[in-house]
């Protein structure tokens, strides 16, 4: 009988990211992940030295996906600054990544090391926004204002409970985003 293949490392990471998005770092438990994957927890230890190592890998994966991967893709696909901003926004704040991003933000409120990582990621994002807005705006104050408003809109859209007569929240957020992308008048 051939040996049973070990559950690949990336499946543990994906399950961990899903657990993190669902319930924060407390929800990332080896036994629970093994049950979700339909395997025993023994295979976990063939990939990771323990839960702390998995949590660090989850943060590494999140950081790479929401900065490096997205910036590479945006650069490869090109376009004017406004189009690159739209594309980066769609990729960065797609539901799958955004759920993890919100969980990391909550985690960062209680863990200084995670807060430092989040600050680094947010600084990469803000630098990108400043560069893109600087591609069609000349006033540094306006570049900074639009950058922070864009970032705030992207993060905060999930916390808006208000009604938008005749529009969905997504449509209202889209209008706000397009307003921010208008050239200076």
Q: What is the pLDDT of residue 185?
A: 64
Share of the chain above pLDDT 70, in %: 97
Of 159, 170, 155, 96, give the one whose Cα is nearest residue 125. 155
d(CA 159, CA 172): 13
d(CA 60, CA 54): 10
Mean per-residue pLDDT, 3-23:
88
Predicted model pTM = 0.89
Cβ count within 10 A of residue 87:
16
The separation between CA 183 and the C-alpha centre of its own chain, rounded to angstroms, equals 27
3-class DSSP assignment, residue 55 = helix
Tokens in use for 25?
């770092």
Residue 136: CA count within 13 A, CB half-sphere: 18
Find residue 167's DSSP bridge partners: 164
Confidence of residue 3 (pLDDT cuts 50, 70, 90): very low
Average pLDDT of the residues of the chain: 92
Residue 4 pLDDT exceeds 70: no
Mean per-residue pLDDT, 173-181:
92
Q: In which residue are the tokens 């995670």 written?
A: 114
Q: What are phi and psi of 167, to 5 degrees?
A: -140, 155
Q: Give the torsion sign (CA, 69, 23, 103, 89).
A: positive
Confidence of residue 100 (pLDDT cuts 50, 70, 90): very high
Q: Does residue 7 or residue 57 have the better pLDDT? A: 57
d(CA 132, CA 5): 46
């Amino acid at each position: 009988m051939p040996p049973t293949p070990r559950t690949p490392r990336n499946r543990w990471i994906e399950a961990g990211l899903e657990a993190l998005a669902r319930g924060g770092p407390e929800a990332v438990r080896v036994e629970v992940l093994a049950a979700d994957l339909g395997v025993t927890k023994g295979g976990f230890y063939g990939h990771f030295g323990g839960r702390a190592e998995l949590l660090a890998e989850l943060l590494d994966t999140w950081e790479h996906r929401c900065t490096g991967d997205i910036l590479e893709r945006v650069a490869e696909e090109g376009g004017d600054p406004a189009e690159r901003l739209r594309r980066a926004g769609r990729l960065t704040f797609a539901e799958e990544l955004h759920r993890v991003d919100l969980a990391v933000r909550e985690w960062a409120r209680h863990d200084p090391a995670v807060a430092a990582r989040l600050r680094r990621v947010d600084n990469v994002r803000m630098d990108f926004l400043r560069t893109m807005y600087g591609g069609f705006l000349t006033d540094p104050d306006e570049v900074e204002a639009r950058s922070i408003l864009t970032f705030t809109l992207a993060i905060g859209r999930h916390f808006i409970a208000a009604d938008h007569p005749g529009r969905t929240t997504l449509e209202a957020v889209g209008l706000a985003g397009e307003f921010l992308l208008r050239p200076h008048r």
